[in-house]
Amino acid sequence: MKQIVFLDGQYVEKSKAKITVFDHGLLYGDGVFEGIRLYNGCIFKLHEHIERLFLSARYIMLNIPMTREDLIEATAETVRRNGLYESGYIRLVVTRGEGTLGLAPWLCPKPSVFIIATTIKLYPDEVYEKGLMLVTAATTRNRVETVNPRIKSLNYLNNILARIEAHNAGAEEALMLDHNGYVIECTADNIFIVRGKKIVTVPVYMGALKGITRDCIMDLARNRGLEVAEEPFTRFEIVAADECFLTGTAAEAVPVTRLDGRVIGSGEPGPVTKELIGAFREITSSDGVRIDGQKGSGRKGSKKR
């Protein structure tokens, strides 16, 4: 089946899905995006992703040239045209559009919108069973007064540098700190630590993305009677924690068992992490916006993994 991409109102074959070299998304990273998952015929947390996209766009003063409803429909149609159902990954991008070689976004008359629907597997199954090793990156996370990490912008160089550092050190993800040494997040995931029956993540005002998986995991934890807190912490608290895990749309929820050569907790994924991974898998298979346009969520209880 040929891959079909939504590009500025048209559904085109992948080979024809091209944007101009004068697009400021490419020239300057001037644009916003979302990564969204499809499970079992339903797009997970689609409304939340669309809201975050509009909020990111509002902050960078970019007018998305489509309504929320049209974007939702175009997203579902892109998924359908690619024959995806059981599982998929959607990339929704809005760039500033074509302009001059100056920075001036006001000289870019028409933002560009494109939607890619494909499949994704970020980490091997083994990582979910044994846990991931993190290495702290020397590159710190953007400060909130610069490009605030709450904006999901096309400007990912900060994260890319940290990811290269982790890769060069043999790790699959990098831990990113702020300029004071507080833990912020990873290059594409939020971070949680577990202490007994309490889970703790970083407050977004410190400079982390308000992850949609993060918020979902916090809700699932509260519903299970766990205490949930947003508090600053350092690398010391990660090593001192009972458990640690990351959350993200592509990664889902993944255990972390090592940080910079130190063992976290028992060195194995812990019971709270495992319970939350299970709860997350359950909700992704039974919740979301149906791609067939019908109301209601996905088929409860159907197997997908």
Name the site residues for ligand PMP (rule: CB under 6 A): 35, 159, 185, 188-190, 209, 211-214, 247-249
Catalytic residue among 152, 274, 295, 304: 152
CB-based contacts of 10, cutoff 8 Å, min separation 6: none
Whether 16 is catalytic is: no
Task: Supply 238's token pair.
Answer: 């990660």
CB of 1 to ligand PMP, least distance (A): 27
Q: Is 202 left (phi over 0), alpha (psi -120 to 50) or beta?
A: beta
Q: Min. distance of Cβ 35 from ligand PMP in angstroms?
A: 5
**CB-wise, 24 or 49, nearer to ligand PMP?**
49
Give the nearer residue to ligand PMP in terms of CB position, either 209 or 256.
Answer: 209
Element (H, E) at 169: none
Helix or strand run (H / E) with residue 272: helix 271-284
Please identify which residue in the block is written with the tokens 């689609």: 46
**Which lies closer to ligand PMP via its Cβ, residue 32 or residue 133?**
32
Contact 44, 122 (CB under 8 A): no
Q: Which is nearer to ligand PMP, 27 or 191 (CB)?
A: 191
Please state the closest distance from residue 159 (CB atom) to ligand PMP, in A.
6
What's the sign of the alpha-carbon dihedral 182, 149, 217, 243? negative
| CA separation for the pair 18, 298 (Å, rounded) | 34
Amino acid at 294: Q
**Min dist. Cβ of residue 175 to ligand PMP (A):** 12
Q: Which residues are tagged catalytic?
A: 152
